[in-house]
């Protein structure tokens, strides 16, 4: 589909993935359309913009091959704002001097405005907190520039050439820890660039529907829907744009979904277009090859390959590969840019998009992606506007391999080992240490919850001290003391999956009823093969707060809620104990496998 405006009002020149998307999102929140462009975009292609922002990035301007911009952008007469690396790059390209500081400056700093500046106008000096993350700094100003603010360790925390409307800030106005960041971006976008408000994702819906009709022409659209927000909203837009008879959705039930998941997805779409989503029950096909598999990577490989097979068969069977069908996808804006997206998202998507039939559709231009210009929070707004239930809109992320990576399996029997610090459970889970994944046993603590102080600090200290572990859990309730529990053989069997499903449903219900679900970003519930002969398994609760899943903090739980959850779970048959995972990511990962 074509962009709605060929040149956005604000172009963010991308010097390093994560930063630039955050900036563009913050500008859009002000009601001004911003797009990310490669840093080296020729100045001639930026000529229609009202303002340019040079993003932060991990590099040093002197490092060979570091990102740069076309120096001619500074001669366009368009206002520009450099942020962090962008600030240094602007100084460097315009003849200033950048040096490595004596020490880096990472974290919070106090900004002191030292000269009048349209960029920093109206800031409250009582709220000087800004967020810094840099080692290099601007040591010599380019001609025409003036230093406008400093911090204790950074003499040029902000600079500007007011006549040419060129500005740079060493700190990050786009992050929440810069308390007046929004005001600074507001000054740049409106007072300095003179932008008008032109962006409200909700107002875009008629345009998106018109685009869908144009791209589809007389062809029909089919989707693989997952029950996640992006594919659901994209599918819904197509249903609105075209007659429901022209849009098909296929939902593959892997047998690894949570309780009520398949019914939820079917009912939700049936309410708008009865029968529009076909549910493909592939549970038996997924579970058979997984029956005796314990290794996490092997589980993922099998599930990925099975997805490919099942999708390919559906494409053939329903004649979707023929001329009158095109494929709809829920791709969102960060996925369309090379440097964007999270490593994980990229990984799993290659799995699903690698189906040869789908590849062929992509190569022949038979793909429609109605959300490719929107960020996740904008997609949620569009979904709300379309009347999708809040339950779907605010859905927590759920991994593609589903409950398979939350149901730990083993073929060995072993007893927990007493260490000075706690019990070493001879079951391994995945963690991130350095840049690579680790696979280590778990340390379980007993009695800690009685005192309830510094739980998470204790856990962090222990992970740093006990070399063989990457995760610490605390026992919150059990039918037997820890020393009597044993790791015993358990596979991805229907009865264990059913046990996990029931436990997960209880946790979700209590979490919703208590309002705790509003405090968490994701709340995996994990089944581990640790128990006794009658009650062979245990449950681990993993409530987390995160922004993008790349890092995450274990969320503190109200002791009363934790006890209530444990009590309800221990009434389920087959469950011996309930644990609370205290580990952050890193060093642990969000999922256990």
State in angstroms the smallest separation of the CB of 344 from ligand XMP: 4
Q: Which residues of 465-479 are buried (b: 16+ CB within 10 A; e: fewer)?
A: ebeebbbbbbbbbbe
Decide if residue 301 touches ligand XMP (CB under 6 A): no
Stretch near ligand XMP under the rule CB under 6 A, chosen from 56-64, 89-97, 395-403, 533-541: 395-403
Angle between helices 376-385 and 205-216 in degrees, nearest 10: 90
Site map 312..351 versus ligand XMP, x via CB under 6 A? --------------------------------x---x---
Contact pick of 79, 340, 401, 529 for ligand XMP (by CB under 6 A): 401
Tell me whether residue 313 or residue 545 sits nearer to ligand XMP (CB atom): 545
192: DSSP letter: I
Report CA 37 to chain centroid distance, whole Å: 21
Which residues neighbour 211 within 8 Å (Cβ) at sequence distance 6 or greater? 1, 2, 370
Query: Max CA-CA distance within the chain?
Result: 79
Number of residues in contact with ligand XMP, rule: CB under 6 A?
13
State in angstroms the smallest separation of the CB of 403 from ligand XMP: 12
Angle between helices 229-241 and 261-272 in degrees, nearest 10: 20
Stretch near ligand XMP under the rule CB under 6 A, chosen from 66-74, 95-103, 187-195, 397-405: 397-405
Site map 548..577 versus ligand XMP, x via CB under 6 A? -x----------------------------
Tell me whether residue 169 or residue 358 sits nearer to ligand XMP (CB atom): 358
Which residues does the annotation mark as catalytic? 84, 172, 174
Q: Where are the alpha helices (DSSP H) in 84-141?
A: 85-93
Stretch near ligand XMP under the rule CB under 6 A, chosen from 98-106, 169-177, 365-373, 396-404: 396-404
Stretch near ligand XMP under the rule CB under 6 A, chosen from 61-69, 251-259, 393-401, 478-486: 393-401
Quick check: 227 and 263 in contact, CB under 8 A? no
Decide if residue 585 touches ligand XMP (CB under 6 A): yes
Of 487, 503, 482, nearest in space to 409 by CA: 487
Q: Where are the alpha helices (DSSP H) in 291-326?
A: 296-317
Q: Which residues of 25-35 are buried (b: 16+ CB within 10 A; e: fewer)?
A: bbbbebebbbb
Contact pick of 233, 241, 379, 590 for ligand XMP (by CB under 6 A): 590
Paired with 132 in beta bridges are: 107
Touching ligand XMP, residues 88-147 (CB under 6 A): none
Q: How many CB atoms lie within 10 A of CB 508?
A: 17
Stretch near ligand XMP under the rule CB under 6 A, chosen from 69-77, 95-103, 270-278, 582-590: 582-590
Half-sphere exposure of 458 toward its Cβ, with a 13 Å CA cutoff?
Answer: 19
Helix (H, G, I), strand (E, B) or coil at 113: strand
Q: How far apart are CA 478 and CA 161, in angstroms?
A: 67
Site map 37..56 versus ligand XMP, x via CB under 6 A? --------------------
Decide if residue 586 touches ligand XMP (CB under 6 A): no
State in angstroms the smallest separation of the CB of 440 from ligand XMP: 14
State in angstroms the smallest separation of the CB of 230 from ligand XMP: 11
Which residues neighbour 84 within 8 Å (Cβ) at sequence distance 6 or greater? 19, 55, 56, 57, 133, 134, 169, 170, 171, 172
Touching ligand XMP, residues 521-540 (CB under 6 A): 522
Stretch near ligand XMP under the rule CB under 6 A, chosen from 121-129, 394-402, 451-459, 470-478: 394-402
State in angstroms the smallest separation of the CB of 404 from ligand XMP: 9
Decide if residue 400 touches ligand XMP (CB under 6 A): yes
Tell me whether residue 145 or residue 235 sits nearer to ligand XMP (CB atom): 235
Decide if residue 257 touches ligand XMP (CB under 6 A): no
Of 109, 107, 43, nearest in space to 78 by CA: 43
Q: Kindly list the residues in this chain that would bind ligand XMP in the complex (CB under 6 A).
A: 300, 344, 348, 397, 399-401, 522, 549, 585, 589-591
């Amino acid at each position: 589909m074509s962009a709605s405006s060929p040149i956005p009002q604000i172009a963010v020149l991308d010097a390093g993935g994560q930063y630039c998307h955050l900036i563009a999102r913050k500008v859009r929140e002000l009601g001004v359309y911003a797009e990310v462009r490669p840093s080296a975009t020729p100045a001639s292609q930026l000529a229609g913009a009202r303002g340019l922002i040079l993003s932060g990035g991990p590099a040093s301007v002197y490092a060979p091959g570091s990102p740069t911009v076309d120096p001619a952008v500074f001669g366009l007469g368009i206002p520009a704002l450099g942020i962090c690396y962008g600030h240094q790059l602007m100084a460097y390209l315009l003849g200033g001097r950048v040096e490595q500081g004596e020490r880096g400056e990472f974290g919070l700093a106090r900004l002191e405005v030292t000269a009048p500046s349209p960029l920093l106008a109206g800031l409250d000096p009582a709220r000087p907190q800004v967020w810094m993350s840099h080692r290099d700094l601007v040591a010599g100003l380019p001609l025409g520039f003036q230093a406008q603010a400093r911090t204790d360790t950074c003499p040029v925390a902000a600079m500007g050439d007011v006549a040419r409307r060129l500005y740079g800030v060493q700190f990050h106005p786009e992050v929440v820890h810069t308390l007046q960041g929004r005001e600074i971006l507001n000054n740049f976008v409106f007072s300095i660039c003179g932008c008008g408000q032109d962006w409200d994702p909700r107002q875009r819906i008629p345009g998106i529907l018109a685009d869908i009709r144009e791209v589809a022409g007389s062809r029909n659209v089919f989707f693989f829907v997952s029950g996640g927000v992006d594919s659901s909203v994209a599918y819904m837009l197509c249903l609105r744009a075209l007659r429901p008879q022209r849009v098909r959705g296929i939902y593959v039930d892997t047998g690894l979904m949570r309780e009520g998941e398949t019914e939820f997805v079917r009912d939700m779409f049936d309410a708008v277009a009865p029968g529009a989503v076909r549910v493909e029950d592939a549970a038996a096909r997924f579970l058979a090859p997984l029956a005796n598999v314990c290794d996490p990577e092997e589980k993922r490989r099998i599930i990925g390959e099975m997805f490919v097979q099942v999708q390919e068969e559906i494409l053939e069977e329903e004649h979707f590969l023929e001329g009158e069908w095109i494929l709809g996808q829920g791709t969102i804006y960060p996925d369309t840019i090379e440097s964007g997206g999270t490593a994980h998202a990229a990984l799993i998507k290659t799995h699903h998009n690698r189906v040869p039939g789908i590849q062929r559709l992509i190569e022949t231009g038979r793909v429609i992606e109605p959300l490719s210009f929107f960020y996740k929070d904008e997609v949620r707004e569009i979904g709300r506007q379309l009347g999708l239930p809040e339950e779907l809109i605010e859905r927590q992320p759920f991994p593609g391999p589903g409950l398979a990576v939350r149901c730990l399996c083993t073929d060995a029997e072993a007893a927990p080992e007493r260490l000075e610090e706690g019990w070493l459970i001879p079951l391994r889970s995945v963690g991130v240490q350095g840049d690579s994944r680790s696979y280590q046993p778990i340390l379980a603590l007993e009695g800690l919850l009685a005192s309830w102080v510094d739980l998470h600090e204790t856990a962090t200290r222990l992970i740093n001290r006990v070399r063989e572990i990457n995760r610490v859990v605390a026992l919150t309730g059990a039918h037997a003391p820890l020393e009597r529990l044993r790791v015993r053989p358990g596979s991805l069997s229907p009865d264990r999956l059913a046990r996990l499903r029931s436990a997960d449903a209880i946790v979700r219900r209590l979490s919703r009823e208590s309002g705790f679900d509003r405090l968490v970003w994701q709340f995996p519930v994990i089944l581990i093969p640790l128990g006794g002969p009658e009650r062979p398994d245990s449950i681990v609760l993993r409530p987390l707060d995160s922004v993008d899943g790349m890092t995450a903090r274990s969320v503190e739980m109200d002791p009363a809620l934790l006890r209530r959850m444990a009590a309800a779970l221990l009434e389920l048959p087959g469950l011996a104990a309930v644990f609370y995972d205290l580990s952050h990511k890193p060093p642990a990962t969000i999922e256990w496998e």
